[in-house]
């Protein structure tokens, strides 16, 4: 049951939940304006402290930003020990759902789709935000409210439920948790899966127009935040929303921080970000810059064009190995009639070396416009 009130806000409905908490539609009783209210998950005392710090960071980062493609944050507070963040309410969809041609045909339903607000939930978008692989070996839900391997297995994009459980077992039995990706031993790469059914639907002109337009707007948002010395660090389809006027908003800067204290790892040593969209340098805990966000953008573009991610594995360990060591299948082999220029952009964005990628969001914008 959602709370009835949070601080000065009356809760109207649940919009969705993510790794860090739940987002509600709420009414500001002072102004009568509707907002989106993100309430961080409760847990032990350490979760509260950490979550509060995450929220404060998200707020500080966002408060000074003003761009049509970046979500506006109004205020942060604490309610019954739980931190919350009030932000602009976006009447729209996450990028994945906005571009979804036929959700059930392209994605195997996951347990999360049982929830009535599944269309707004975003757990299908990724494997969940994650902690450093060498910590918290025993719990499904990590102490900062993010998820470990079981969440990873559950959210694997193209596995059936039996495979999910297999993945859980595998990961537990062979010690996948607690593995440092920098020391991960090589394994054989599984063969690329055949392209998804109805892949031709992905190329419908109207959908491609929407995809390109959304990508251009994301580039504008990224150019803006990178210009302010910020790296998003957790760019993924659930952190991009598109409103009814097709205006894109970049969300969730909880993981962003100024490049000055950059290391890709939080002060308490946790790796932040979401596996599937993480650049190699982020997996390795190396310093990040805007090019790491461009890598994530490339994964998103590849996935939305082909119906599957460039690297697809049952366990984080295997995914890291693929991301660090193998080349993704050519996008146009998965989608024969995909747009060749967009496919080239996607492949260049997901190059392993940051120097081999586009160097700025402005460059990506230009390439997408060609």
For 59, the token pair is 């707020």
- At its nearest, how many Å lie between ligand ATP and the CB of residue 274? 7
CA 77, distance to chain mean position in Å, is: 24
Q: Which CB sits closer to ligand ATP, 119 or 265?
A: 119
Coil, helix or strand at residue 136: coil
To ligand ATP, the closest distance from the beta carbon of 229 in angstroms equals: 22
Shortest separation between residue 89's beta carbon and ligand ATP, angstroms: 5
Q: Which helix (H) or strand (E) holds 342?
A: helix 340-349
If the CB atoms of residues 16 and 290 are measured against ligand ATP, the closer one turns out to be 16
Instruction: Compare residues 71 and 167 and give the one whose CB is closer to ligand ATP.
Output: 71
| Residue 297 lies near ligand ATP (rule: CB under 6 A) | no
Residue in 48, 100, 124, 234 annotated catalytic: 234
Cβ closer to ligand ATP: 214 or 343? 214
The residue at minimum Cβ distance from ligand ATP is 18
Q: Please, which residues have CB within 8 angstroms of residue 184's CB and are 6 or more apart in sequence?
A: 317, 320, 321, 324
- For residue 278, state whether it binds ligand ATP (rule: CB under 6 A): no
Q: What is d(CA 174, CA 121) in angstroms, rounded to the nearest whole number?
A: 31
The answer to whether 90 contacts ligand ATP (rule: CB under 6 A) is yes
The answer for residues whose C-beta is within 8 angstroms of residue 77's C-beta and 6 or more apart is 7, 83, 84, 86
Assess whether 234 carries a catalytic annotation: yes
Among 23, 106, 250, 364, binds ligand ATP (CB under 6 A): 23
11 binds ligand ATP (CB under 6 A): no
Q: Please tell me whether residue 227 adopts helix, strand or coil conformation.
A: helix
| Binding footprint of ligand ATP, residue count (CB under 6 A) | 24
Task: Give the torsion through C-alpha atoms of 126, 131, 134, 136, to 10 deg.
Answer: -110
DSSP code string of 280-337? HHHHTT----HHHHHHHHHHHHHHHHHSS-SS--SSHHHHHHHHHH-PPPPHHHHSTT
Compute the distance between CA of residue 362 and CA of residue 220 in angstroms, rounded to an integer: 7
String of contacts with ligand ATP for each residue 121-160, x by CB under 6 A: -x------x-------------------------------
List interacting residues with ligand ATP (CB under 6 A).
15-21, 23, 36, 38, 71, 87-90, 94, 120, 122, 129, 234, 238-239, 251-252
Residues annotated as catalytic are 234
């Amino acid at each position: 049951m959602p709370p009835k009130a949070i601080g000065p806000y009356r809760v109207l409905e649940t919009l969705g939940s993510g790794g860090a908490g739940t987002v509600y539609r709420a009414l500001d009783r002072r102004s009568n304006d509707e907002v989106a209210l993100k309430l961080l998950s409760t847990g032990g005392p350490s979760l509260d402290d950490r979550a509060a710090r995450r929220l404060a960071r998200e707020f500080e980062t966002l408060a000074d930003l003003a761009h049509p493609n970046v979500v506006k944050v109004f205020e942060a507070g604490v309610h019954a020990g739980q931190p919350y963040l009030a932000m602009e309410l976006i009447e729209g969809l996450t990028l994945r759902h906005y571009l979804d041609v036929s959700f059930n045909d392209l994605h195997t339903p996951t347990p999360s789709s049982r929830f009535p607000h599944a269309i707004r939930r975003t757990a299908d978008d990724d494997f969940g935000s994650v902690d450093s692989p060498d910590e918290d070996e025993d719990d499904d839900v990590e102490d900062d409210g993010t998820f470990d391997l079981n969440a990873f297995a559950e959210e694997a994009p193209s596995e059936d439920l039996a495979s999910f459980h297999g993945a859980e077992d595998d990961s537990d039995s062979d010690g996948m948790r607690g593995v440092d990706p920098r020391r991960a031993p090589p394994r054989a790469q599984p063969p690329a899966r055949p392209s998804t059914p109805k892949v031709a639907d992905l190329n419908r002109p109207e959908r491609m127009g929407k995809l390109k337009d959304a990508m251009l707007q994301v580039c504008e948002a990224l150019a803006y935040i990178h210009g302010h010395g910020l790296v998003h660090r957790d760019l993924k389809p659930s952190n991009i929303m598109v409103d009814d006027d097709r205006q894109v908003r970049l969300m969730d800067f909880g993981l962003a921080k100024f490049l000055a204290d950059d290391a890709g790892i939080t002060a308490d040593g946790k790796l932040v970000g979401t596996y599937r969209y993480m650049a190699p340098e982020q997996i390795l805990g190396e310093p990040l810059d805007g090019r790491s966000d461009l890598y994530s953008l490339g994964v998103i573009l590849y996935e939305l064009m082909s119906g599957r991610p460039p690297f697809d594995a049952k366990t984080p360990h295997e995914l890291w190995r693929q991301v660090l060591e193998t080349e993704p299948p050519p996008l146009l082999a998965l989608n024969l009639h995909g747009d060749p220029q967009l496919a080239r952009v996607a492949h260049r964005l997901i190059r392993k070396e940051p120097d081999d990628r586009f160097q700025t969001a402005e460059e990506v914008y230009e390439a997408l416009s060609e």
